[in-house]
A and B are shown apart, each in its own frame.
Chain A
Amino acid sequence: MTLTRPVTQADAPRPTTVEIVARDRVRRTARRRAVITVLALVIGLGYIVSLVAGQTFYTPAEVFGVIMGQDVPGASFTVGRLRLPRASLAVLAGLCFGMGGVTFQAMLRNPLASPDIIGISSGASAAAAFAIVTLSISGTAVSVVAIVAGLGVAMLVYALSFKSGVVGTRLILIGIGIAAMLDSVTAYVLSRAAMWDLQEATRWLTGSLNGTSWPQVVPVLIALTVLAPVLLGQSRNLSMGQLGDDTASALGVRVERSRVILIIAAVGLIAFATAAAGPIAFVAFLSGPIAARIVGPGVSLLVPAALVGAVLVLVGDFLGQYAFGTRLPVGVITGVLGAPYLIYLIIRTNRAGGSL
């Protein structure tokens, strides 16, 4: 949060600092509001398009009829059973990934500290794959296993990187190590599956929305309605925390307590979404930096990042289904799009000589 800004032009009459700060703040808030509105419109539009368009087209009236519970021949199945749950999960999972990811990035003050790089997504998907393939359980129990594993991994990474204080870089490197381990566990579990379905494997390795049905969507919706308000309630503490632990506690933030709440809520979002859709590659990582680019500095990124996440998953899934000759899972699309950005981010940080 920048409170002051160097005055570049000698305006006449010169505005007071208070006026500058106030004007700046008004502008930033207005911009954030505009961005949120535009993103929400984009999501709404994408949602409608992915219900209407596909192998066969249905008119918006038909789609609306299906949503209202009428029996429309053909559309009831295609839209009601296939497209509606799929598009809903795309939006919900995107919101979860975006919000959970930006929470970690802001809390650890490093864009690389996103849950999919430091092993939390890997942990959740390894546990979910293990629960489904080896223990053959399904439904909400899988989400519970995934969230417990996600929290466990988060605590483990945090504890392992604790050595007279946690340093971001050490945490990231240790997270990369843990992620490598967990990914090989996932690979093993999948290779042992009696019927190793490649689609199913992809879901746990890169993330996929194929074959989504309502029972998968509902837990994510519940998680989002419960946990998103918790995170939003902490958003002030989160932005104060970015000033550093000492400053934040001087400003009246109970740092440790707020951090625990943030971690639990963010891991919860990530784990529920992962249990339903797999670790959709790089969405958690990308949403925050993209949102920061659009919105500009000095405002809370939680909502914009969540919306960016939803846009990424919706568009990625639509592209994956129809843009290429074959149907590609959404995780492959977001992975191919996100990976160059990750490399670009590293190049830029290295060039600037900043400490990663």
Chain B
Amino acid sequence: MRRPKRLRSLWLLASLGVLAGLMLASVLIGSREVSWDDISAALGGSIDGFGPAAVATRIPRTLLAVVAGAALGMSGAVMQGVTRNPLADPGILGVNVGASLAVVCGMAYFGLSSATEMIWVAIVGAGATALFVYTIGSLGRGGSTPLKLALAGAATSAALASFVTAVVLPRNDIAEGVQSWQIGGVGGATMENIRVVAPFLLAGFLVSLLSARALNSLALGDDLAAGLGERVAIARGAAAIGAVVLCGAITAVAGPIGFVGLVVPHACRLLVGPDHRWLLPFSAVLGAALLTGADVLGRIVARPSEIDVGIITALIGAPFFIYIVRRRKVREL
């Protein structure tokens, strides 16, 4: 399906506008009302008084929601491209739980506490799980069908989740921190966290965007892609590494947040078509908008407390997952 370039640019501008609006809302809305003066004061670096202080905690939170959403959205789009599977998503493939298990083990057995160490550990855990699930899911006839991949992912998630509980439960000192981190949230964001994760995300975004062309060829099937001069294994590996780095790093700072990577690329494909050079940046923007929106929604719905963003995305994303499953023919599944 060819789309006129102007239309796609228009969509991109519109979604950037939506994202900007949601970011503003995320700074404005919360259990405490803030005025414009408070915001400008907070931006000026002042944290005197409640208003500016509230804004000063909301700014890193908003930033984290934006980068987390962007990373998860793009990582989902890349994974769907690499596996040619419409159900691929960091959450469904069990990658998030893999990262969780690695982080939890790091905390419990190796006394890891610095953010950089945790991110490395999470990325290794995410990568190992992705490889494992993909291997199981593509055994046997027909390669990695959506059903086999989703089942392998669900089984692996359940397995790893049991291990996470087994590691955490006896250790009361880390239990509480782990438990709140596990639901997945951006509430505890600090600028420090974002600064630590930034280089990883930059690398991930760069690798993913560079593999956009290769993903386009891969979409035609391995044989055709090879015929077009693509080195299939290398291209696929590079793209997968980009996606795993993105979701592993985000999981390390924000906990496992599911379904963003599933929903966003599908919505984007409807808007801009299947060309990955457009799809990837667009998924990042829309993912950021979705996660920021979910975070704001969580603050509005449960006033004066809040609902963690991981819960909102699951409530939005799971029905969408069901919709995709229902729409496809059984034979394809």
Contact = CB atoms under 8 A, between A and B. Distances in A.
Contacts of B137: 350
B228 interface: no
Interface stretch (B146-154, B212-220, B239-247): B146-154
B207 interface: no
Contacts, number: 141
Given A181-B315, A332-B165, A340-B159, A191 B140 contact: no
A185 B318 CA distance: 12
Tier of interface size on chain A: 35 or more
Contact of B314 (A184, A339, A342): A184
B183 A191 contact: yes
A171 to B, nearest CB: 10
Given A174-B326, A350-B148, A342 B155 contact: yes
Contacts of B311: 184-185, 187-188
Contacts of A202: 165, 169
B333 A328 contact: no
B307 interface: yes
Contact of A332 (B155, B166, B305): B166
Given A172-B151, A187-B311, A335-B159, 13 more contacts: A112-B151, A160-B326, A161-B326, A176-B151, A177-B318, A184-B314, A187-B183, A192-B305, A339-B162, A340-B159, A343-B159, A347-B136, A350-B140
Interface of A: 112, 117, 160-161, 163, 167, 169-170, 172-174, 176-178, 180-181, 183-185, 187-188, 191-192, 198, 201-202, 205-206, 281-282, 324-326, 328-329, 331-332, 335-336, 338-340, 342-343, 346-347, 349-353, 356
Q: Which 10 pairs across A and B sit closest by C-beta, in order of nearness?
A: A339-B159, A335-B162, A326-B170, A184-B314, A350-B140, A181-B318, A353-B141, A350-B139, A177-B321, A177-B322
Interface of B: 87, 91, 136-137, 139-142, 147-148, 150-152, 154-156, 158-163, 165-166, 169-170, 172, 175-176, 179-180, 182-183, 258-259, 305, 307-308, 310-311, 314-315, 317-319, 321-322, 325-326, 330, 333
19 contacts: A161-B326, A173-B150, A174-B325, A177-B321, A180-B317, A180-B321, A188-B307, A198-B176, A202-B165, A205-B165, A326-B169, A328-B170, A332-B169, A335-B158, A338-B162, A339-B160, A339-B163, A346-B151, A356-B148
